[in-house]
């Protein structure tokens, strides 16, 4: 199945927190979108692998994505080496996305920056014909996505562009709250983590509001890019 957009996250819930409003918007426009998680978040303080698997399935249904897969890399310990790059390359060649979304280039959690660089490098390498990969015993064709964009996570990175998600903020928050084990729950007896406070959930809304304010809309999500953006005419910019 060819996808229009393929979003990668180091952990289940990274994509939902970073760019699920944009994903919901693109799905509403008829785009085929998939999500690939690099790890199962097994080092997380709260919840379990089984719980997070169930939560990611629920979030996927809320967003309307057509693919959700997990590469089962080691949470906290995966590296940007050939073996891990080949796993990502196989997914890129399998789904042939035009656009790839991935983790923030740098962030509080070390896996986010690592995952960002791993996916970005794999997107380039995936276009090299001399790198051979197979899927179900069949040699895959080389494929390089047209663009790679990085969503913003814990750190307040200045975006290169923003996407108006005003009509999709409710879907974004529903997809985030699907991960009930990870976020604020006054009834929970599990340890408090940086993302398990009420303030963190509020901050998701505040950030989207602030980015929206800066461009004259209600809510927005920001992205960075490693190359110049191009438009056909100035009228394409808002």
pLDDT of residue 114 exceeding 90 = yes
- Number of structural domains, the chain? 1
The string of pLDDT tens digits covering residues 70-82 is 999 999 999 999 9
The pTM is what?
0.96
Residue range of the domain that includes 15 = 5-236
Q: What is the mean pLDDT of the chain?
A: 96
pLDDT score for 197: 83
Q: How confident is the model at residue 125 (pLDDT cuts 50, 70, 90)?
A: very high
Average confidence (pLDDT) over 17-21: 99
In CATH, what number is assigned to the domain containing residue 122? 3.40.50.10320
* % of the chain residues with pLDDT over 70: 100
* % of the chain residues with pLDDT over 90: 87
Instruction: Label residue 103 exposed, middle or buried (CB < 10 Å: 0-12, 13-18, 19+).
Output: buried
Q: How confident is the model at residue 152 (pLDDT cuts 50, 70, 90)?
A: very high
The string of pLDDT tens digits covering residues 217-237 is 999 999 999 999 999 999 888
């Amino acid at each position: 199945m060819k996808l229009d957009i393929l979003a990668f996250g180091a952990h289940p819930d990274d994509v939902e927190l970073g760019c699920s409003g944009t994903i919901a918007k693109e799905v509403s426009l008829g785009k085929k979108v998939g999500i690939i998680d690099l790890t199962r978040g097994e080092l997380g303080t709260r919840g379990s692998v089984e719980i997070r698997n169930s939560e990611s399935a629920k979030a996927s249904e809320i967003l309307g994505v057509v693919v959700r897969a997990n590469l089962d890399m080691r949470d906290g310990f995966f590296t940007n080496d050939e073996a891990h790059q080949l796993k990502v390359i196989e997914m890129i060649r399998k789904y042939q996305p035009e656009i790839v979304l991935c983790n923030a280039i740098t962030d509080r959690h070390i896996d986010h920056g690592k995952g960002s660089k791993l996916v970005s490098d794999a997107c380039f390498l995936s276009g090299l014909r001399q790198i051979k990969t197979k899927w179900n015993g069949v040699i895959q064709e080389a494929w390089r996505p047209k663009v790679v964009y990085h969503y913003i996570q814990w750190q307040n990175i200045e975006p290169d562009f923003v996407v108006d998600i005003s009509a999709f903020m409710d879907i974004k928050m529903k997809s985030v709250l699907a991960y009930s084990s990870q976020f604020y729950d006054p009834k929970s007896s599990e340890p408090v983590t940086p993302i398990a406070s009420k303030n963190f959930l509020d901050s998701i809304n505040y950030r989207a509001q602030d980015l929206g304010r800066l461009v004259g809309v209600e809510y927005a999500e920001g992205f960075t890019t490693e190359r110049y953006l191009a438009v056909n005419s100035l009228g394409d910019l808002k």
